[in-house]
Amino acid sequence: MNNQRGKHSIVFSNRPNIVGAAAVGGVKESQGPQKKWFDFTLEDDIFGEKTWEKAEGKMVKKAIDLALSNGRVSEKQVDILLGGDLINQLMIANYAARDLQMPFLGLYGACSTMTESLIAGSVFIDGGYASCAVCAASSHYCTAERQFRMPLEHGNQRPPSAQWTATAAGSMVLSKDRAPGRNICVTAATIGRVLDPGIKDVNEMGAAMAPAAADTLLTHFRDLGRSPEDYDVILSGDLGHVGKKILMDLMAKQGVPMAENYNDCGALMYDDSQDVHSGGSGCGCSASIFAGRIIKEMRQGKIRRALIMSTGALLSTISSGQGETIPGIAHAVVLEAEGGE
Partner 1 sequence: MSNDKKLPDIGTEQDPKVKKQKAKAYEEYAKQFTPKPKYAANGLKAFVVGGLICCGAFAVQNWLMDFMKLEEKEAGTWVTVLLVCLAQLLTGLGWFDSLAKFAGAGCIVPITGFANAMVSPAIEYKAEGPVLGVGAKLFSVAGPVLVCGITASVIAGIIQVFR
Residues near partner 1 (CB under 8 A): 50-51, 146, 150-161, 195-199, 204, 207, 210-212, 214-215, 218-219, 221-222, 225, 242, 245-246, 249-250, 253-256, 325, 327-328
Spatial distance between the Cα atoms of 100 and 218, rounded to a whole number of angstroms: 38
Nearest CA among 69, 306, 30 for reference residue 169: 30
Least distance (Å) between residue 225 CB and partner 1 = 5
CB of 229 or CB of 341, closer to partner 1: 229
CB of 65 or CB of 196, closer to partner 1: 196
Least distance (Å) between residue 107 CB and partner 1 = 22
Least distance (Å) between residue 278 CB and partner 1 = 8
CB of 214 or CB of 294, closer to partner 1: 214
Least distance (Å) between residue 142 CB and partner 1 = 9
Spatial distance between the Cα atoms of 165 and 201, rounded to a whole number of angstroms: 16
Q: Are strands 132-139 and 80-84 parallel, antiparallel or unpaired?
A: parallel
CB of 33 or CB of 159, closer to partner 1: 159
Q: Is 181 helix (H, G, I), strand (E, B) or coil?
A: coil
Q: DSSP string spanning 269-282?
A: HS-GGG--TT-EES
Least distance (Å) between residue 334 CB and partner 1 = 16
How far the first Cα of the chain sits from its last, in Å, is 32
CB of 215 or CB of 336, closer to partner 1: 215
Long-range contact set of residues 253-259: C-beta below 8 Å, sequence gap at least 24: 254/214, 254/218, 256/217, 256/218, 256/221, 256/227, 256/228, 257/228, 258/228, 258/234, 259/228, 259/229
